[in-house]
């Protein structure tokens, strides 16, 4: 077991040949009051480095209590969580092991340690121009004035990488390289997402099952070979960003930085700002669970999800736990779970069909009983009210079935009698928040509307309708002696 664990562990030290400055004039800034630009940060020079002693360059209180989004929420933005109220600091350091969000890789999270030993939580890191900005959320006992003093320019600061940030450092280039070089399928976009969710790449066309199996097998073969990874860095033209190679993926607002190329030995060369481990052997396996077709402004694309490294292990553990739990519920072994689940689904469909048939039969019987009721003395038509107790999820649907059956029965008579019927249905256990559904239908559209308006006015029933039908909902406890009597009174006033 120890051997297996060791094989899943990344290298402990980054080789000195990992970060290669290929330009004679490029120098990493050494002035402690000058920030090292994104592209040359410690997390990019040494992806295995977990902590670092550095100096503060600037610190200020953020104008907003939430980090900026970089404008990537998209049209289908999720419902925003309530904004935190604790103050947020923007801290720029001379160097950092915390990667700022970019290139499809999420921001790292970590901790800053001030000279007095106090810990400060870095909840996000973003790139502003060419600088990495750390967003520090103050704890209840921490003070913004103290933070501004402790992170004053030149102050010594410790910065350490959080475990969740470290787990995100997985390489998507291998998958893209196999897709592009072996299948001639271009990568349109990618995201490493937040651990432990599956990562993904967007490609230009759908892949067959055989192609997906081939890509996974080829990626695994390269993983087991343990190909090395290194980074080549050179100047980036500050005006036109003219480079000696492709310039794909470099943001327009990236200023004062460098051109950074990630090289997987014998497999791929690609411009990238991300944190790539010095070998791909730690990726272990790639898993492509499913694909998803997406619409884009320039057409459609297919999203391939993949798992590797710690994500794959977390996925296997959670999947095994779910399968074991389901097998226990189904009282069978894991291999029989699909068959047993299918049996449950089939039985549920049969039971639902039987309930529907019985409800239709019962609705017809109730409708026949209503249609057979005598016309009250003094009335020119049939005016009825019936209340039911029903815990079904769709009580209104059953009332509608009754009304349909009633109308069909009445329509079959030679001399149709005018009618106005009110049906209500409440759950067996009622509280102040319970919902009672009300359905009104009749032969006279005007009478139906009048009945609905009266229910709104006297019982505060919320609803509406058109023509011969009106439906609504009553919130609260429905009592025959109170709400039922009110409905009877409304019908009494609406004589034909």
CA–CA gap between residue 377 and residue 495 (Å, rounded): 11
Q: What is the mean pLDDT of the chain?
A: 86
If one compares 292 and 115, the residue with the highest pLDDT of the two is: 115
Do residues 289 and 327 both lie within one domain? no
Instruction: Answer yes or no: is 17 within a domain.
Output: no
- Domains in the chain, number: 4
CA–CA gap between residue 176 and residue 191 (Å, rounded): 12
At residue 84, the pLDDT reads 62
pLDDT band at 172 (very low <50, low <70, confident <90, very high): low
For residue 196, give both structure tokens.
């432990």
Do residues 177 and 219 both lie within one domain? yes
At residue 430, the pLDDT reads 94
pLDDT at 338 over 80: yes
Do residues 186 and 258 both lie within one domain? yes
Do residues 225 and 295 both lie within one domain? yes
Do residues 353 and 487 both lie within one domain? yes
Which of 63-72, 273-282, 397-406 bottoms out in mean pLDDT, i.e. has the lowest?
63-72
pLDDT band at 168 (very low <50, low <70, confident <90, very high): low
| Mean pLDDT along residues 164-175 | 69
Cβ within 8 Å of residue 36, ≥6 positions away: 28, 29, 42, 94, 95
CATH number, residue 156: 2.40.30.130
Which of 5-14, 285-294, 326-335, 417-426 bottoms out in mean pLDDT, i.e. has the lowest?
5-14
Residue ending a domain, among 166, 197, 214, is 166
pLDDT band at 482 (very low <50, low <70, confident <90, very high): very high
Do residues 249 and 365 both lie within one domain? no
Do residues 366 and 299 both lie within one domain? no
CATH number, residue 195: 3.30.980.10
Instruction: Answer yes or no: is 21 within a domain.
Output: no
pLDDT at 370 over 60: yes
At residue 11, the pLDDT reads 61
- Output the CA–CA distances (angstroms, integers) from residue 148 to 61, 89, 144, 153, 317, in the order listed: 8, 9, 6, 9, 44
Instruction: Answer yes or no: is 19 within a domain.
Output: no
CATH number, residue 381: 3.10.310.40
| Mean pLDDT along residues 211-236 | 90
Residue ending a domain, among 141, 166, 191, is 166
DSSP 8-state secondary structure symbol assigned to residue 376: P
At residue 467, the pLDDT reads 92
Instruction: Answer yes or no: is 14 within a domain.
Output: no
pLDDT band at 10 (very low <50, low <70, confident <90, very high): low
Whole-prediction pTM: 0.67
Instruction: Answer yes or no: is 79 within a domain.
Output: no
Q: How many percent of the chain have pLDDT more than 90?
A: 56
Nearest to 380 by CA among 423, 417, 422: 417
Instruction: Answer yes or no: is 110 within a domain.
Output: yes
At residue 173, the pLDDT reads 78
Residues 53-87: tens digit of each pLDDT: 999 999 999 988 777 765 444 444 444 455 567 88
Residue ending a domain, among 118, 142, 166, is 166
Do residues 488 and 448 both lie within one domain? yes
At residue 437, the pLDDT reads 96
CA–CA gap between residue 3 and residue 5 (Å, rounded): 5
Do residues 146 and 186 both lie within one domain? no
| Mean pLDDT along residues 299-304 | 86
pLDDT at 115 over 50: yes
Contact between residue 82 and residue 116 where contact means Cβ atoms under 8 Å apart: no
Residues 414-452: tens digit of each pLDDT: 556 899 999 999 999 999 999 999 999 999 999 999 999
Which structural domain range is residue 330 located in? Answer: 318-346
Instruction: Answer yes or no: is 16 within a domain.
Output: no
Instruction: Answer yes or no: is 372 within a domain.
Output: yes
Do residues 243 and 379 both lie within one domain? no
| Mean pLDDT along residues 241-256 | 54
Using left for φ > 0, alpha for ψ between -120 and 50, and beta otherwise, residue 469 falls in beta
Do residues 94 and 118 both lie within one domain? yes
Do residues 158 and 189 both lie within one domain? no
pLDDT at 301 over 70: yes
């Amino acid at each position: 077991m120890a051997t297996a664990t060791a094989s899943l562990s990344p290298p402990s030290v980054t080789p000195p040949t990992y970060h290669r400055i290929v330009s004679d004039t490029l120098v990493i800034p050494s002035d402690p009051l000058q920030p090292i630009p994104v592209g040359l940060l410690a997390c990019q020079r040494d992806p295995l480095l977990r902590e670092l002693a550095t100096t503060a360059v600037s610190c200020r209180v953020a104008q907003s209590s939430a980090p900026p989004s970089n404008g990537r929420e998209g049209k289908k933005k999720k419902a925003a969580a309530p904004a935190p109220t604790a103050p947020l600091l923007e801290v720029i350091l001379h160097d950092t092991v915390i990667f700022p969000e970019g290139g499809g890789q999420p921001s790292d999270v970590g901790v800053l340690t001030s000279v007095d030993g106090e810990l400060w939580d870095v909840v996000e890191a973003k790139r502003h121009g060419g600088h990495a900005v750390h967003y520090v959320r103050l704890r209840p006992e921490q003070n913004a004035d103290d933070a501004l003093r402790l992170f004053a320019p030149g102050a010594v600061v410790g910065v350490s990488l959080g475990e969740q940030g470290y787990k995100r450092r997985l390489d998507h280039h291998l998958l893209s390289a196999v897709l592009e070089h072996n299948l001639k399928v271009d990568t349109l976009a990618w995201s490493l997402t937040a651990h432990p969710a599956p990562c993904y790449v967007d490609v230009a066309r759908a892949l067959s099952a055989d192609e997906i199996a081939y890509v996974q097998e080829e990626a695994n073969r390269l993983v087991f070979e343990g190909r090395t990874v290194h980074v080549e860095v050179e100047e980036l033209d500050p005006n036109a960003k003219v480079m000696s190679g492709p310039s794909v993926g470099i943001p327009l607002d990236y200023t004062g930085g460098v051109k950074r190329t990630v090289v997987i030995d014998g497999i791929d060369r690609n411009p990238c700002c991300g944190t790539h481990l010095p070998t791909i052997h730690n990726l272990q396996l790639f898993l492509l669970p499913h694909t998803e077709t997406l619409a884009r402004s320039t057409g459609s694309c297919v999203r391939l999800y993949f798992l590797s490294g710690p994500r794959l292990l977390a996925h296997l553990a959670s999947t095994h736990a779910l399968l074991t739990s389901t097998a226990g519920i189904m009282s069978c072994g894991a291999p029989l779970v699909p068959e047993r689940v299918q049996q449950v689904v089939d039985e549920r469909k049969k039971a639902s069909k039987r309930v529907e048939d019985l409800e239709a039969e019962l609705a017809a019987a109730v409708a026949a009983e209503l249609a057979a009721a005598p016309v009250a003395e003094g009335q020119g038509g049939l005016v009825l009210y019936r209340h039911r107790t029903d815990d079904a999820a769709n009580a209104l649907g059953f009332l509608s079935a009754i009304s349909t059956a009633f109308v069909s029965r009445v329509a079959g008579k030679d001399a149709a009698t005018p009618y106005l019927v009110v049906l209500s249905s409440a759950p067996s256990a009622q509280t102040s928040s319970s919902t009672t559904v009300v359905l009104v239908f009749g032969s006279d559209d005007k009478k139906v509307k009048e009945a609905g308006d009266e229910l709104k006015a006297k019982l505060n029933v919320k609803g509406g309708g058109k023509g011969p039908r009106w439906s609504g909902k009553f919130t609260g406890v429905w009592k025959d002696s109170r709400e039922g009597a009110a409905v009877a009174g409304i019908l009494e006033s609406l004589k034909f």
